[in-house]
Structure 1
Amino acid sequence: MNATRLRVYHGPDTANTPESDENRLCEQDTVTVKAEEIIPLLADAYASRRTWLADFADDEVTVSADLYEVLVAYRFFNRPA
C-alpha cells in the first residue's frame, strides 16, 4: 500500500510569475476602483451588520467633489421630520 505524503503549498514562485492584482495590493496602500463595484458590497455589509465593516470605520475615503456635494445634500434632506 502506498503511503500518502502531504506537502505544504507555499504559493507560486513569484520570481517566475507576472505581477497579479493581489501582489500589487500587498505593495500599495491604496487601490482605485469604480464606485459601482464597491457600493453594493458596502450596502450589503451594512444591511447585514457585518462586524468587519467596523474595522474600517476610521479609514478615510476619497470621493469626487460632486459626489460629496450630492451626499451632503442627501444627508440634509433625508433627516427625519
Structure 2
Amino acid sequence: MQPRLRLFTGDDESHDIEPLKVNITFGELSTILQEACRKQRAFLRDFEDDEIQMTEDLYQVLTAYCRLRPGA
C-alpha cells in the first residue's frame, strides 16, 4: 500500500467530494493495527470516530467476541 501525499494550500474546495476508498485484507489491517496499538501510536486516536464498513459475518463475530466473558 503506497502512501499518498498531498500538498495543503489552505483552501480545500473538495470538502464535498466523497473520500477515496481502498480495499485491504483483514489480515493486513489487523497486522497494522496490532503494531500501532502495541506501540501506542497517537494517530489511532485521530480516527477513533471514523466509521468503517465490514461484512455482516465479520461484524457478528466481533460483536459475539465482545460479549464473551473474560477468561471464557
> 1:48 is aligned with what amino acid?
K
Alignment length (residue pairs): 59
CA distance in 1, matches of 2:69, 2:36: 21
**Correspondence list, 1:1-81, <5 A:** 29-79=20-70
Using the TM superposition, give the Cα deviation of residue 46 of structure 1 relative to its aligned residue in structure 2, in angstroms: 1.1
- 1:51-74 CA-partner distances (Å, limit 9, x unpaired): 011111111111100000000010
Of the two, which has the highest radius of gyration? Answer: 1
Q: Percent identity?
A: 32
The one of the two structures with greater contact order (alpha-carbon pairs below 8 A, sep at least 6) is 2
TM-score, normalising length from structure 1?
0.60
For 1:29, what is the secondary structure of its paired residue?
A: coil
CA displacement at 1:30 relative to structure 2 = 1.0
Where structure 2 has 5 or more consecutive residues not aligned to the other structure, the ranges are 7-18
Q: Secondary structure at the match of 2:49?
A: coil
Amino acid at match of 1:74: Y
Residues 78 and 30 of structure 1: is their aligned pair in 2 closer, same or farther, counting only changes over 3 Å?
farther
Change (3 A) 1:45 1:64: same
